[in-house]
Amino acid sequence: MIRIGPLRLKAQMFCGQETAMGPGKADLLDAIAREGSISAAGRALGMSYRRTWLLVDTMNRCWKEPLVETAAGGARGGGARLTGLGQDILVHYRALEQRVAEIADSAPLQALNAAMRETPKPAQ
């Protein structure tokens, strides 16, 4: 999720009915690269073990090659890392988000910002 003042922008890539990439999956790839383990990455993001693995499984089924690979030693024991394609997809997705974020200084956004209240009027 990109936040620019009151604007929130969300970019998702769909493969059939499944989300191949989006803000949550990109954050998970970042966390796996940093933590070296799927379960540690999930913990760092406050996600359940099951949900973390479901997201990884979906990513690995939606692209032409898997994005995450687990090392020998079992699912919990051997660690995990991004594949070459996983690294590439993460870079491209962040670049896509950056392109989306560049509308921050566009005239329509400035016009919308100028007309919005700071906080909503209370409901009556």
Q: According to the binding rule CB under 8 A, does residue 33 interact with a second copy?
A: no
Polymer length in residues for the chain: 124
Backbone phi and psi for residue 93, each to the nearest 5 degrees, phi listed first? -65, -45
What secondary structure letter does DSSP report for 5?
T
Scanning 25-33, 41-49, 76-84, 91-99 for contacts with a second copy by CB under 8 A, the matching segment is 91-99
Closest separation between CB of residue 16 and a second copy, Å?
5
CA-CA distance, 72 to 47, in Å (whole number)?
24
Of 25-33, 38-46, 73-81, 86-94, which part binds a second copy (CB under 8 A)?
A: 86-94
**32-35 LR contacts (CB < 8 Å, sep 24+):** 32/56, 32/68, 32/80, 32/81, 32/82, 33/81, 33/82, 33/87, 33/90
Residue 119 engages a second copy in binding (rule: CB under 8 A): yes
- By the 10 Å C-beta count (0-12 exposed, 13-18 middle, 19+ buried), 2 is classed as middle
Name which position in 46, 50, 64, 72 contacts a second copy (CB under 8 A): 64
Q: Which of residues 5-24 bind a second copy (CB under 8 A)?
A: 6-16, 18, 20-21
The reply to whether 55 sits near a second copy by the rule CB under 8 A is no
Which residues are near a second copy by CB under 8 A? 6-16, 18, 20-21, 57-58, 61-64, 85, 88-89, 92-93, 95-96, 99-100, 103, 106-109, 111-112, 115-123
